[in-house]
Amino acid sequence: MRLSADRLMAARQLMRVEDGAFSSRLSAGGTAPAARVRVLEALRWQRAIDHVLQPRCRRELEQLDPEVRASLRIGLVEAMQLGLPPALATDGAVHLVRRLGKSSAAGMVNAVLRKAAAEWREVLEASSIDVRLAHPQWLSSRWVENFGSESAASSMASAQERAVTWVWFFDESVTSTLAREGVNLETHPWCPGAWSAPENARQLVQSVKEGAAYAQDPSSQLVAHVAKNLSSDGDRFLDLCAAPGGKSALMLRLGRWAIAAAADLRPARVGLMRPTLARAGECLVAVADAMQPPFAFGAWDLVLLDAPCTGTGTFRRHPELKWRLSPDSVGEMAEKQKQLLASGLELVAPGGVLLYSTCSVEPEENEGVVSDLPTGFELEDLEVVMPDNVPWIPTDAAGARILPNPNGDGFTIHAIRRTD
């Protein structure tokens, strides 16, 4: 009975994601774990699932009613990824499509899934790696071209893993309290101050809810550590694209800045980050467009531009992004990023640094944005400021790229120093 309710919730969420909702926001409202895992796994494996389903359906999957499509995808992902025996997964999907009001499709769902759930392994074994690892073909080819076939394959495989929750603590002494309460905390292999609790995930989530910890991918946390390590005489920090506030909050917590300001274009997101930043330290918070920043020019020792991007490093947490991006998305985003960078550079104090970061691994959105700098600015090598053991590779513009890996999302960072 419970599983049937979870499948129903999962199908409804999948249909909402098809209509443009984000899975991470839908699940924020207390989705049951069994429903959430079905949504995320169905989105994550969608290309592989559809590759198995399509030849067994008479009509194009895209032309089926959304209720039928969702039932088929949930049924097959239960067999492929959740270990349900084919017959149980099929029966569950038949029951589901009836509950969704499409009883007329029950026979078809039964016939398609009986075959698909029994045959998926051999179908996928015979397919190309982009199908097997459920990535769009254009993206897989682009990663092979940019990073080589081995790195592309391991990046895609990592993007298919379920994301581990990593946090940092506003006050690290909480870790001792949690340990005394029996929470088995683990430190991260390369991100300083990042903690997880695979055996006690619920307690860790509770710490986040109570405001003692902040959940953030280690690659994203790393930006704050790199910022702290960059040499600078001054202590004024400005974050131009700050919401929901994770990097600014960690930078405040690392405590190097006497004056800090964090802004974002979207008022609702600024509202979200206010309490986080208030917990971390003193910071001016503003709604502002980074294209026309209302801040003093040439006055900030560190400007963080954590730019809006395609997010190709974050598929593990946002699997539907893979299906929303197109080959044009990268170039379109790069144009916007170049404008943001030009505007951000005007704010940097002499001797100061602009740290440009994205959770995209695409060169056009990173080295392609920072390589054409105005006079008086120079790219700075990140080697000396990178914490030990980070699995980064250098970019063509002295930056650092982390490809999606078992311990973190994909990310790219460049530092630009004002030299005049």
Ligand X SMILES: C[S@@+](CC[C@H](N)C(=O)[O-])C[C@H]1O[C@@H](n2cnc3c(N)ncnc32)[C@H](O)[C@@H]1O
Catalytic, 359? Answer yes
Q: For residue 307, which amino acid is it?
A: A
Residues 83-112 that bind ligand X (CB under 6 A): none
Q: CB 240 → ligand X: shortest distance, Å?
A: 6
User: What is the identity of the amino acid at 358?
Assistant: T
- Please report whether residue 284 would count as binding ligand X according to CB under 6 A: no
6 or 409: whose CB is closer to ligand X? Answer: 409
Question: Do residues 47 and 78 touch, judged by C-beta distance below 8 A?
Answer: no
Stretch that binds ligand X, among 44-52, 67-75, 120-128, 265-273 (CB under 6 A): 265-273
Q: Does 243 bind ligand X (CB under 6 A)?
A: yes
233's CB contacts (< 8 A; 6+ apart) are 301, 351
Residues of span 196-225 touching ligand X by CB under 6 A: 220
Please give the single-letter amino acid code of residue 393.
I
Q: For residue 103, which phi and psi values (nearest 5 degrees)?
A: -60, -30
Judged by CB under 6 A, which of 56, 269, 279, 324 binds ligand X? 269
Kindly indicate which of the ranges 165-173, 180-188, 195-203, 284-292 contains the residues binding ligand X, using the contact rule CB under 6 A: 284-292
Among 138, 266, 376, 393, binds ligand X (CB under 6 A): 266
Query: According to the binding rule CB under 6 A, does residue 80 interact with ligand X?
Result: no
Q: What is the DSSP letter of 277?
A: H
Which residue, 251 or 385, has its beta carbon nearer to ligand X? 251
**Main-chain phi, psi angles of 333, to 5 degrees:** -65, -40
* Residue 246 binds to ligand X (criterion: CB under 6 A): yes
**Structure-derived torsion over alpha carbons of residues 153, 159, 165, 167, reported in degrees to the nearest 10:** 70
271 near ligand X, judged by CB under 6 A: no
Of 305-364, binders to ligand X (CB under 6 A) are 306, 308
- Burial profile 384-398: b = 16 or more Cβ within 10 angstroms, e = fewer: ebbeeebebeebebb
- Select 148 or 275, whichever has its Cβ closest to ligand X: 275
Q: How many CB atoms lie within 10 A of CB 313?
A: 30
CA 286 to chain centre: 24
CA–centroid distance for 395 within its chain: 21
Q: 2-18 and 33-44 helices cross at what angle (nearest 10)?
A: 40
* 238 is a contact residue toward ligand X (CB under 6 A): no
Of these, 75, 245, 363, 408, which contacts ligand X (CB under 6 A)? 245
The residues of the shown chain that bind ligand X, judged by CB under 6 A, are: 220, 240-247, 264-266, 269, 289-291, 306, 308
Active-site annotation, residues:
359
